[in-house]
């Protein structure tokens, strides 16, 4: 494996772009390949077998592009497929972990709320995370059906999005949560609205920067970091509609980019 090779990143859709942004900040010299599996988003209401099969197919594609590492920029795919991916692929697989640990360190009220998909909240990984950190603080899991669809539609601040968020965030605040964890990579794009609803005293945290740090640590340990003087590039693929993906990636990545069709999906 060569340090000059790219890093592969994927998500059920465009949510993983929040992780891609953190990776770009942490590793400016790396070439990044991003796959949005938008034809099949949301993963949250699919079976574990389906998500696993999609994660394997996308990882195979990324490996065919000579990636030196894969970042599973999706909490739901992490819960459903990370163990299988690690057993099937030789490249390092870096995955998501909701920021429960920093949240337990941050809370003053002793109550933290976690916004995630129902599949993530029910996953073994998550149940273990709950058990590990839930002894001294109260952890409230809140499933958020509909939010991934709003981000996939590019609606980050409209009425429907606001009403959904109010419905999910208010009960957590009423139960005393002073720290909210964004346990789905789509949600950081809704962070300004979440912060507005929760108020400035509530901390809203996600794990994108921590995942980027972990990726850097892993590449460094394996002597796979690209020359930091290089200017990194990004390439995008989607299994969804091209025009939609193009507009959405431009909106969220804030640069006009070319998106390609994911081959044979």
Q: How far is the CB of 187 from ligand DGL (least distance, A)?
A: 8
Among 6, 15, 188, 240, binds ligand DGL (CB under 6 A): 15
178 binds ligand DGL (CB under 6 A): no
| Cα 218-65-240 angle, rounded to 5 deg | 105
Nearest to 192 by CA among 213, 161, 171, 168: 161
76 binds ligand DGL (CB under 6 A): yes
- The span of 56-64, 74-82, 172-180, 252-260 binding ligand DGL (CB under 6 A) equals 74-82
Partners of 33 in beta bridges: 8, 235
108-137: contacts with ligand DGL (CB under 6 A): 117, 120
Active site residue 74: yes
Q: Residue with CB nearest ligand DGL?
A: 44
Partners of 238 in beta bridges: 36, 261
Match 């507005």 to its residue by tokens.
196
Partners of 114 in beta bridges: 141, 181
Among 11, 30, 178, 206, binds ligand DGL (CB under 6 A): 11
75 binds ligand DGL (CB under 6 A): yes
Among 20, 70, 143, 184, binds ligand DGL (CB under 6 A): 184
Q: Which two tokens stand for residue 131?
A: 């058990």
- Distance (Å, rounded) from C-alpha 146 to C-alpha 161? 8
Nearest to 204 by CA among 97, 95, 98, 132: 98
Q: Which of 73, 74, 139, 143 is catalytic?
A: 74
Residues with active-site annotation: 74, 184
Q: Which residues bind ligand DGL (CB under 6 A)?
A: 11-12, 15, 41-44, 74-76, 117, 120, 148, 184-186
């Amino acid at each position: 494996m060569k340090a000059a090779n790219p890093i592969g990143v994927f998500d059920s859709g465009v949510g993983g772009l929040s992780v891609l942004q953190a990776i770009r900040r942490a590793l400016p010299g790396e070439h990044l390949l991003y796959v949005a599996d938008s034809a099949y988003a949301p993963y949250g209401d699919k079976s574990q077998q389906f998500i696993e099969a999609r994660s394997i197919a996308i990882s195979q594609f990324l490996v065919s592009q000579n990636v030196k590492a894969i970042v599973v920029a999706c909490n739901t795919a992490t819960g459903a497929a990370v163990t299988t991916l690690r057993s099937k692929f030789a490249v390092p697989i870096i995955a998501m972990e909701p920021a429960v640990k920093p949240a337990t360190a941050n809370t003053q009220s002793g109550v933290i709320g976690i916004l995630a998909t129902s599949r993530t909240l029910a996953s073994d990984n998550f149940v273990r995370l709950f058990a590990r950190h839930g002894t001294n603080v109260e952890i409230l899991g809140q499933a958020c059906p509909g939010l991934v669809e709003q981000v996939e539609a590019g609606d980050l601040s409209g009425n429907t999005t606001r009403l959904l968020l109010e419905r999910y965030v208010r009960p957590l605040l009423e139960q005393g949560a002073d720290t909210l964890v964004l346990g789905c990579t789509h949600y950081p794009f809704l962070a300004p609205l979440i912060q507005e609803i929760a108020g400035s005293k509530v901390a809203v945290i996600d794990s994108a920067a921590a995942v980027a740090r972990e990726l850097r640590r892993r590449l460094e340990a394996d002597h796979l970091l690209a020359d930091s003087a290089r200017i990194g590039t990004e390439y995008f693929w989607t299994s969804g509609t091209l025009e939609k993906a193009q507009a959405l990636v431009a909106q969220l990545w804030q640069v006009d980019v070319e998106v390609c069709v994911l081959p044979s999906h």
